[in-house]
Amino acid sequence: MLATASLGAIGVAQAQSSPTERRQPAATQRPAARSSGNEEIIVTGVGRATSARKANAAYSVLNEDDMSKFTPISADDMLRDMPGVVVESNDGVARNEVFTRGMTIGTGSNTSGYFWTTILEDGLPVIPFKFGGFQDGYFYRADISTSRVESIRGGSSATAVSTSVGATFNYITGPVKPGGSIQARLGLEGDDLHLSWKQIDGQFGWTNKKGDFGLGISGFYRTSNGQVNPGYNLNKGGQVRLRATKEYVSDNGSGMFLLGFKHLDDVNAELTAFQQPTYGYLNTEEIPGFGRDANLYLKGGKQTVPNYFKPGSHSLDPTDGFRYKQDAATFNWNHSTDNGWTFASAVRVQKSTYRGQGFKTDTPVSLTSSAAERERYGLNINNLDRTPGYYEFRDGNGSLVARVANNVNGSQLGTNYRTGAACPRVTATTFQSNSLCVTYNSLPNRDIDVRGGVVTGAAPNANGTYTTATLPVGAASQDLVLRTRVEDTYRASKDIMLNFSVGHETRELAINAGVYFAHSKQLNNSWANGQGLSAWADGQVENLNVTYVTQSGTTYQLTDPGGWGYYGTGMFATVTQEAKITEIAPRAELRWSPNSHWDFNASVKYDHFDAKTNSITYDTRNAAATSLTNGGLDGNPLTVYDNLYSVVTPSKVISAKRSLGVFNYSVALGYNFNPNHKFYIRYTDGKQPAMGIVQRYTTTATLVRPLGPTAYVKGYEMAYTFNMPRVNGAITYFKQNFAVNDYPTAIDTDNVTTYLLPENFNKYFTRGIEAWARVRATRALEWSPSVTFLNGRTKAAYNWLNTGANGLGAADDVLRIDSGGLARSPKWTISNVLSYRLGDVRLNLRHRWMSARRLSTNALDQRTLPKQDNLDASIDYQPRRGTRIIFDVRNVMNKQYISA
């Protein structure tokens, strides 16, 4: 849930030309400004710069004026008012989720948020081959030099980029500007309105007298501790971009060279690591002690983690969050001849890295549960839990905060601190359900009332009730502690991308052909770094120091100095994976306008992929894990935390080599009633390969899976567009059939080999209407409404039963086909942006309303996410030329935002 955020911006500019005065690069590289006929030119999804009216595509554009009305928290945040687009931007600067036209399948987490969509940076993908936890939005930051955002939804997007059969978002950098500008942002966040956001943006440009050569630099630096101040910066970092442009005129035409460099180094938190505990979420009621600004971020937790697959160790600090770095060099050349030919080429060489060491939220658990002690610290493996003793929990100051007796083998240690009665005697030689007894507890919230709810996230029955087995007994809702875990990952991709096209255009006919090439070398490393327990209270989430003291007085250290135990477990298994991926994609576009009424468009693309992968998984327990005399990594049997770790699993040393070819196409026919009104219809058939190739082949069983296609979209759209002096927009009806296939496998009769199951594509459809308009009611009043209506369903979700190692193979395989609603897909989304200018002051209001959404595709799960109702406001004051002051208030009404 998001609380009130106030952001202010102060800008100073010198010698800055207006948008209409700027020199425009060649049309194949940058969109021109609106023509005198109020006609938009787009460059995304169309092969070359094209009049939006002739493109027959569902497009949206954000220009500099649109982006100046409000202060976006992230690049994803800028997209939320586009029709048909839903942005779950509650993770902050990065790690967000963006989907279009209700296509929620595959995007259900911040690690796969761009499953159907792609971000382009000046026409080329930010990431050519994404995978889980390595997405477009991780490596793009809009800054002061971003002048335009174009989106294409459906349609020709499928023939533009291999991973954007849903939509493409192209962030376009403005031309080099003579002079400079500086912008400072100060933001107050949270219900307590503490100073949090501090950002400085700047740009400076120089052009020669002739105006055909320019140098530019832009960038930003920002720190923020967020709505909930954890005592350290959740966001810290920035970006620098350098650009050099040279325009020329020759005997056979004109063109431009562009050389660019980008350095991004930004640390961002995963804001959903903080989840406010509440009673319910439809009619939310706060739990005492857990307000909207409760600090539940982990403090401390620093650790030295063994590398396992290479010598040495590495450091882990959960307060450093998630670090995104990208160094990219680009070269563009565009040339237009006097007789209608155009040539365009772009090369991008880059290295992107991601270091994840951020806290991940987990659920509370009672100290009387085996999940809190023996299972979390591995005592059920080395059988230390068969020796009577006490678990002792100490805080960061070394003070004892809780003690739990473990009775077994005839012992009766301790007195129940709640009842004063002796703890139960347990005669069995092994751990029993009544073995644990809390003898002391000074931790906060030990008597919290969970009101008979569940902390396991179990799905309810159709009538909203739960089966008795999922409800905790009284003891399970007392003496709660918070389970803690931390991501420990390093991911990297070294990429080279090349795009070349040649085209020819006459008044009636335009053809364009080209080829896109991409090659990547990717690395995905993750480490199991253990688990912890913490107090569950505002400002007190810090790993506890846990020991086990036997009845005879021997002390076993269960956690390391950072509070982490059982190194063989963690957020992820220990894995090292590599991949080399190559894509070659020839394509062609055609536009034919035989007269002033008809426009025909067609685009085709063939994608060929080659991939080599190697994966090594460490998830086998070390040989001596079950022995209490095992000294583990440090040789000391009494330091239990590193006595149980993982070694290489021989059957999970997997190499694969795969190839795939897919064919995409889109065709459209439009009829112009007159220059201002038009109707068009478009059909698209698009497929995309597996996302996460580097992670795809991890076991022998997965080797039978092909590289794809793992998803497709087939559908059509019909639209009425209008473009008049005071109002322009579009009303689009669409219907899309889409499917996802992860190629599940089953085990054959020998209980070893695997085979692919025959029906795998889970099928869905969405249909609806998206409408948008730009209305200039008067010279001072502007209105930009957009409405999206969606009605989608799960047509057939395949669930195979009896596919395990039962010796029967395919003979007993049973297919269950489920159908129902789509999860997280709103039926209605309505957005309105209103701007009114009075002299030097402009008032901007933005209202967004989204209807309730199903939480799950499970037909028995009738839970819904509450509707969203959000109002933002800003005041823009320009007291003199070159100076602007913006006061921006997000979520004016301070309403809750609850996402999935």
- Same domain flag for 494 and 475: no
Residues 244 and 138 in one domain: no
Instruction: Check whether residue 618 and residue 502 sit in a common domain.
Output: yes
Residues 272 and 417 in one domain: no
CATH number of the domain that 89 lies in?
2.170.130.10
Residues 127 and 257 in one domain: no
Q: What is the DSSP letter of 22?
A: S
Q: Are residues 150 and 198 in the same domain?
A: no
Task: Give the residue from 165, 292, 172 showing the smallest Cα distance to 708.
Answer: 165
Higher pLDDT, 804 or 21: 804
Count CB neighbours of 69 within 10 A: 22
C-alpha span between 94 and 74 (Å, rounded): 7
Confidence check: pLDDT of 5 > 50: no
Domain boundary among 421, 449, 481: 481
Is 752 within the bounds of a domain? yes
pLDDT band (50, 70, 90) for residue 89: confident
Please report the pLDDT score of residue 217 as a whole number.
Answer: 97
- Give the tens place of pLDDT for each residue, 445-486: 888 876 655 444 455 565 556 555 555 555 557 899 999 999
Tokens (6 digits) for 242: 């350098």
Does residue 19 have a pLDDT over 70? no
Q: What is the pLDDT of residue 36?
A: 36
CA distance 638 to 549: 11
Mean pLDDT of the region 867-894: 88
Rounded to the nearest integer, the mean pLDDT of the chain is 88
Question: pLDDT, tens digit, for every residue of 521-558?
Answer: 999 999 999 999 999 999 999 999 999 999 999 999 99
pLDDT at 648: 94
Among 130, 154, 173, residue at a domain's last position: 173
Domain that holds residue 653: 179-362+490-530+566-889
Contact 269, 322 (CB under 8 A): yes
Distance CA 632, CA 639 (A): 8
Residue 863 lies in a domain: yes
pLDDT at 595 over 50: yes
Cβ burial, residue 302 (10 Å; 0-12/13-18/19+): middle
Q: Whose CA is closest to 719, among 686, 683, 687?
A: 683
Structure tokens at 323: 């670090």
- One domain for residues 785 and 663: yes
308 occurs within a structural domain: yes
pLDDT in tens, 331-349: 999 999 999 999 999 999 9
334 shares a domain with 266: yes
For the chain, the domain total comes to: 3
428-449 residue pLDDT tens: 999 998 999 999 999 998 888 7
Q: For tokens 């096209």, what's the residue?
A: 501
In contact, 462 and 862? CB cutoff 8 Å: yes
In the listed set 144, 173, 202, which residue is the last one of a domain according to the structure? 173
Residues 369 and 353 in one domain: no
Query: Is the domain of 412 the same as that of 286?
Result: no
From the CB of residue 779, how many other CB atoms can be counted at a distance below 10 Å? Answer: 7
Residue 553 within a domain: no
SS (H, E, C) 552-611: CCCEEECCCCCCCECCCCCCCCEEEEEEEEEEEEEEEEEEECCCCCEEEEEEEEEEEEEE
Shared domain for 604 and 616, answered yes or no, is yes
- Say if CB 437 and CB 422 are below 8 A apart: no
- pTM for the predicted model, two decimal places: 0.91
Q: Are the C-beta atoms of residues 220 and 238 closer than 8 Å to each other?
A: yes
Confidence band (pLDDT; 50, 70, 90) for 100? Answer: confident
The answer on 386 and 313 residing in a single domain is no
Answer for the pair 145, 183: CB distance below 8 angstroms, yes or no.
Answer: no
36-40, 192-196, 872-876, range with the lowest pLDDT: 36-40
Residue 10 belongs to some domain of the structure: no
Beta bridge partners of 366: 480
- 305 within some domain: yes
How large is the average pLDDT for residues 90-111? 78
CATH number at residue 652: 2.40.170.20
- Give domain status of residue 543, yes or no: no
- Phi first, then psi, for residue 882 (nearest 5°) are 90, 0
| pLDDT at site 482 | 94
CA proximity to 114, closest of 159, 149, 176, 166: 166
The answer to whether residue 895 is domain-embedded is no
